[in-house]
Amino acid sequence: MTAPPDPVRVQPVRVLIVDDHPMVAQGIRAILETWDDIVVVGTLSNGQEAVDRVRALDPDVVLLDLNMPRLSGLAATELILERRPGTRILILSMHDSPEYIGTALAHGARGYVLKDAPAEEVKVAIEAVMRGERYLCDGASSTLAPAATADGREPLTAREQSILLALAQGQSNKAVAAAFDISVRTVETHRKNIKRKLGIATTAGLTRYALEHGVLQGTGRRGPRAAGG
């Protein structure tokens, strides 16, 4: 008699923890490692390390603190998503204000959990973002959206503002990609998102917008690296 086939084995979720407080990072790791369906691929102490090592560590989810040395959680979120777009960023923070949460979502985070949340909530949040859902900490509105600009449009992120400056200065996609150490395809994606958010259809329109809104004022010949992001 032929034995029944083994059930399909589900691969564990690969989680990277990034927090500049070693006791916090190790505490979270110890909790997550109690579950068989989660594997912690590393604990790092700052955002720059996460950006530099995200490809090698290949996490599904990055648990990321907001306030860290060298590179903030918000800046790290944008750079991680540029290098590995499929990564789910889950912010782990002590701040529960709508401003913090909305800004994190605007930068590309898929979820936001408070550091004093029960361990079970962290696991629920990981499972939610793995399903493609957004997870917000208890008490935050499920419909919370990034703060809008004065004219009602979704605001540009810090990186998008820097890329807008570079494009408005007439730099090609290839030149911008080299300056920011990202792919040409990522630049094209940023360009599309900037146009969508601003309601602009052409590159000439982006340049006109930059001139009219003072983006180019006082920049001189400053390159995109100095412009921020």
Domain that holds residue 174: 158-212
Q: Is the pLDDT of residue 137 over 70?
A: yes
176 and 132 share one domain: no
Query: Token pair of 134, please?
Result: 């957004």
Between β-strands 88-93 and 135-136, what pairing exists: parallel, antiparallel or unpaired?
Answer: unpaired
Residue 179 inside a domain? The answer is yes
As a whole number, mean pLDDT of residues 136-164 equals: 64
Q: Tell whether 17 and 67 lie within a shared domain.
A: yes
Query: Residue 71 to residues 52, 119, 144, 191, 218: CA-CA distances in angstroms?
Result: 11, 26, 26, 24, 25
Contact (CB, 8 A) for 124 and 148: no
Number of independent structural domains in the chain: 2
pLDDT confidence of 153, banded at 50, 70, 90? low
What's the pLDDT score for residue 5?
52
Is the predicted pLDDT of residue 4 greater than 60, yes or no? no
Q: Rounded to whole angstroms, how far apart are CA atoms 176 and 97?
A: 34
CATH of the domain at 93: 3.40.50.2300
CA pair distance 122, 142, nearest whole angstrom: 17
pLDDT at res. 140: 55
- Cα–Cα distances in Å, from 66 out to 28, 38, 53, 153? 16, 23, 18, 25
The residues pairing with 16 across neighbouring beta strands, listed in sequence order, are 42, 62
| Percentage with pLDDT > 70 across the chain | 81
* Neighbour tally for 22: CB within 10 Å: 10
228 or 204, greater pLDDT: 204
- Judge if 184 and 127 occupy the same domain: no
Determine the Cα–Cα distance for residues 122 and 117; give it in Å rounded to an integer. 7
| Residue 195 resides in a domain | yes
Domain check: are 115 and 33 in the same one? Answer: yes
Model confidence band, residue 192 (pLDDT cutoffs 50, 70, 90) = confident
Indicate whether 51 pLDDT > 80: yes
Convert the pLDDT of each residue in 100-114 to its tens digit: 887 888 788 999 998
Q: pTM of the full predicted structure? A: 0.64
Q: Do 160 and 194 contact (CB within 8 A), yes or no?
A: yes
Q: What is the three-class DSSP state of 183? A: coil
Contact between residue 154 and residue 148 where contact means Cβ atoms under 8 Å apart: yes
Q: What's the pLDDT tens digit per position in 63-81?
A: 999 888 888 898 899 899 9
On whether both 162 and 128 belong to a single domain, the answer is no
Q: What is the CATH number of the domain that holds 193?
A: 1.10.10.10
